[in-house]
Amino acid sequence: QNPKTSAIVKQLAAEGNAGELQKYFGSRMEFGTAGLRAAMGAGISHMNDLTIIQTTQGFCRYLEKNFSDLKKRGVVIGFDARAHLSSGGSSKRFARLAANTFISQGVPVYLFSDITPTPFVPYTVTYLKLCAGIMVTASHNPKQDNGYKVYWENGAQIISPHDKGISQAIEENQEPWPQAWEDKLIDSSVLLHDPYATVNKEYFKDIQKQCFHRNINKETNLKFVHTSVHGVGHKFVQLAFKAFDLSPPFAVPEQKDPDPEFPTVKYPNPEEGKGVLTLSFALAEKDGAKIILANDPDADRLAVAEKQESGEWKVFSGNELGALLGWWIFTCWKNHNRDTRAIKDVYMLSSTVSSKILRAIALKEGFHFEETLTGFKWMGNRAKQLMDQGKAVLFAFEEAIGYMCCPAVLDKDGVSAAVITAEMASFLATRNLSLSQQLKAVYDEYGFHITKASYFICHDPKVIQRLFDNLRNFDGKNTYPKSCGRFKVSGIRDLTTGYDSSQPDQKAILPTSKSSQMITFTFANGGVATMRTSGTEPKIKYYSELCAPPGNSDVEQLKKELDELVNALEKHFFQPEKNNLQRKTE
């Protein structure tokens, strides 16, 4: 019933444009553990009013089956600031339609009255003890995209088999229910609640448990620049600084207000390097700020840059900031826990494609480290399991600039990560140390961990399949590569098939998934490289790391060795020319 998408389809039908219609209606968006992520537009392959209604009807029925008290507890729904003029779709509209679906079935809905960061949804699920949460966002994807992210009652993103159950329920509930389109009905419903004021108060109260140096924060002369990259983060990072008694950061004026067009950046993703930070650098130079904090548009990720002695800006990789935050959060914990026995219940987590620096810190300091599959859905769920067993999960991170610094949110949170980074930098400044100098100190103490990650773009699933099939049948059927250029392969773990050469029974310990590609190669020189497909973008990603024991400080030699390993990986395993892959460009 959306006049805009309806008109697009009628126009194509009148023109007899079968090719375009096939694109719109050929296949339904797949509902996976990351929920939905697609362009906004007409047809069942896009995010629009109808597909949101259908998805929510399926999700509602699935929750009814799993929770006898759904009508007592309810769900939370949040949204970012995305909007798409030509199809009339927007995150706010989708959130209201989703709310209407639940309310029509007698389910209470806690619908945020305004835009919020993604981490506020899992926070609300936990705080209000709800059955589930939905966040309408496409995070840092291009402006035409939107998404529908789902959290379970434990406050973490869903994992299998929920995705399959929800997907099946969507298939079974495709015809819109009688009042599905009438979202105005919710405004007068007693089942509609607005958690905005409560959550804004309680969240900032909870993150203050991670504030350890209030006096330093009040006194510091360190200046920060913050950008929300046209997303939702501005107001919330300002409030977080206030909660920690830090002076507010300078906000990049051209990027501080939400704008679904993202006019000043090519991609609204701080992970993509210095291009996104150009305006931040200029403001920092003008105001004499040393540190830049950049959130992605839904404020669940954080990038950090620091001005070096040379006048150059260093943008920290996700692994480098993970090393710093891991060191900092453990140091704060240690200083506040004099009972040495408590350390046996302390945990940190990171994903299998992230740096193993936390493992090195854990080995030396005596706490536990665990790795999970890629993605915060795994870390969030594992953290909850550990917390339910009485363990303390201090920190979890992934190299894609995602950090969980506060146990009140079982997902990545760019708001708490930003303010905790600011407190760490302020503390280090009292010792005349920069973040970069402290990072070197961490590596000196626990061993250098040099990482390099990138990706190739490939829009053809057949090419991707062929590339990975080739790796599994490299020297004849069912044989993996024994070397990559001059680098000898010493171990292989394939989490698509479940094979792991390092295990006595050759079976991988981490869960396997046939629906996504992921192979990890260990090399005789101590290097590790993982190749995997992305769940939300047309990319084949790779991650590589060389770890040296403490005391091996020939960093340049390590970097050179890793560069050569990565070049060999690209040339022999990716074969970009043969497979017509497009390289990541700055």
Instruction: Name the residues annotated as catalytic.
Output: 139
Instruction: State the residue for tokens 């930098």.
Output: 425
- C-alpha triplet 213, 219, 224: angle, nearest 5°: 85
From CA 141, how far away is CA 156, in angstroms rounded?
21
Which spans in 18-149 are helix H? 18-25, 49-66, 70-73, 91-104, 120-128
- Contact between residue 169 and residue 62 where contact means Cβ atoms under 8 Å apart: yes
**Complete DSSP assignment for 360-374:** HHHHHHT-EEEEESS
From CA 37, how far away is CA 145, in angstroms rounded?
7
Q: Which stretch of DSSP H or E encloses residue 447?
A: none
Q: For CA atoms 99, 105, 106, 107, give the dihedral sign.
A: negative
Query: How does strand 392-398 pair with strand 402-404?
Result: antiparallel
Q: Which stretch of DSSP H or E encloses residue 494?
A: strand 487-494
Structure tokens at 501: 């050469």
Structure tokens at 445: 């103490």
Residue ranges of E strands in 121-234:
132-136, 145-151, 192-193, 224-227
The residues near 266 (Cβ < 8 Å, ≥ 6 apart) are 272, 275
> Which of 302, 380, 300, 297 shows the shortest CA–CA distance to 125?
380
The residues near 321 (Cβ < 8 Å, ≥ 6 apart) are 302, 304, 397, 401, 403, 421
From CA 178, how far away is CA 46, in angstroms rounded?
23
SS (H, E, C) 374-436: CCHHHHHHHHHHHHHCCCEEEEEEECCCEEECCCCCCCCCHHHHHHHHHHHHHHHHHCCCCHH
> Which of 400, 248, 428, 221 shows the shortest CA–CA distance to 332?
428
